[in-house]
Amino acid sequence: MMTYQKTLRNSISCTGVGVHGGQLVNMTLKPAPADTGVIFRRTDVADEVAEIPARFDTVTELVMCTTIANDAGVKVATIEHLMAALSGSGVDNVIVEIDGPEVPVMDGSSAPFIFLIECADTVELDQPRRYIKILKEVEVRDGDAVAVLTPGDNISVSFEIEFDNKRIGQQQCRVNLRNGAFKKELSRARTFGFLSELEQLKSMGLAKGGSLDNAIVLSGEDILNEEGLRYDDEFVRHKALDAVGDLYLAGSQIIGQFTGYRSGHALNNKLLHAVLQDDDAWCYTTEAPLRTSQVGGAYWPEQKAAAPATA
């Protein structure tokens, strides 16, 4: 069955703080024609250097977030939560106007961006949606971390994490991203960090805008947020959310199974490079994935090192 590309019906704006830079940022999501993709446009720089396509090959930095840049060096950081919301909402084409170098963190999840997209509404365009179909297994590793894409009939994400911290420990989840599953199962999962590492991150120029309003903060095994967790396994769900956003930088939704074990932004991007540079590993298709609401189960590489992760 063929599906058609979507964009927003209306423009919609928000204001928020960048979690790493700490700057107040204004952002507007605008409708775009078919085959535009996701384009970030910096409104605080000259027009001729303002646009940055959101693609795996425009990614330049991957420390604690995903950053894209154009040939002029103009950057936008922390795009992964917005990209995940666009993917989960089926938005193929959008212009993201932003007056600073970082997407606002909002509450640390994708839920506020889902809300914006639903308020703006979406509309079908007259061009078929083009998917990337995985044809063979591709795996990348970095030490103990593993990221894999395998053939499948659906768009699905599996993730496993392991932390020395007993409050997190070992967690795993799997979600087939159809029929609104992203919104229900992943979108509200927030980023997280450790109070003990906050000063070190700030000395690196990171987490300047981080707070209990936009992240889960742990002190030892205690969660400092008064409201507690939104999901019992919110930590692994957020890692899966990040992966959805990073994978959307392929330029199309991927029909296949992503499996991550302790993977992060850098390894997710490395996987996209490995897949898309191998002509035998993928093809374009306009045939939509199978419709399913299945959630649960797990698939993990048979051989993976079990070692404690770091934050």
Q: Do residues 122 and 141 both lie within one domain?
A: no
**Which residues of 220-300 form beta strands (DSSP E)?**
222-223, 254-261, 282-285
Q: For residue 261, give its domain range.
A: 131-285
Confidence of residue 109 (pLDDT cuts 50, 70, 90): very high
Helices (H) and strands (E) in the chain, counts: 6, 20
148 plus 47 within the same structural domain? no
3-state SS, residue 301 = coil
CATH number for the domain harbouring residue 14? 3.30.230.20
Quote the pLDDT of residue 22.
77
Same domain, 88 and 146: no
Tokens of 42: 């910096």
Nearest-5° angle of CA 120, CA 29, CA 89? 60
Q: Note the pLDDT tens digit of each residue in 82-96.
A: 999 999 999 999 999
Residue 257 in any domain: the answer is: yes
218 φ/ψ angles, rounded to the nearest 5 degrees = -110, 135
Q: What angle do CA 154, 80, 283 make, to 5 degrees?
A: 40
Q: Within a domain: residue 101?
A: yes
- Could you tell me the two tokens for 166? 């007993």
- Catalytic residue, chosen from 20, 81, 238, 265, is 265
Q: Is 238 a catalytic residue?
A: no
Does this model's pTM top 0.85? My answer is yes
Tell whether 216 and 260 lie within a shared domain.
yes
Are 18 and 117 found together in one domain?
yes
Report how far residue 299's alpha carbon sits from residue 306's, in angstroms, rounded to the nearest whole number.
15
Statement: residue 305 has pLDDT above 60: no
Let me know if residue 197 belongs to a domain: yes
β-pair partners for 53 = 39
Q: In 3D, which of 75, 80, 67, 63 has the Cα closest to residue 101?
A: 75
User: In what helix (H) or strand (E) does residue 269 lie, and over which residues does it extend?
Assistant: helix 265-276
Q: What pLDDT is recorded for position 207?
A: 62
Count structural domains, the chain: 2
Model confidence at 79: pLDDT above 70: yes
152-161: per-residue pLDDT in tens? Answer: 999 999 999 9
Residue 260, class by beta-carbon neighbours within 10 Å (0-12 exposed, 13-18 middle, 19+ buried)? buried
CA–CA dist 194, 145 (Å, integer):
20
- Are both 219 and 118 inside the same structural domain? no
How confident is the model over 171-224, as pLDDT tens digits?
999 999 988 899 999 999 999 988 887 767 666 666 667 788 889 999 999 999
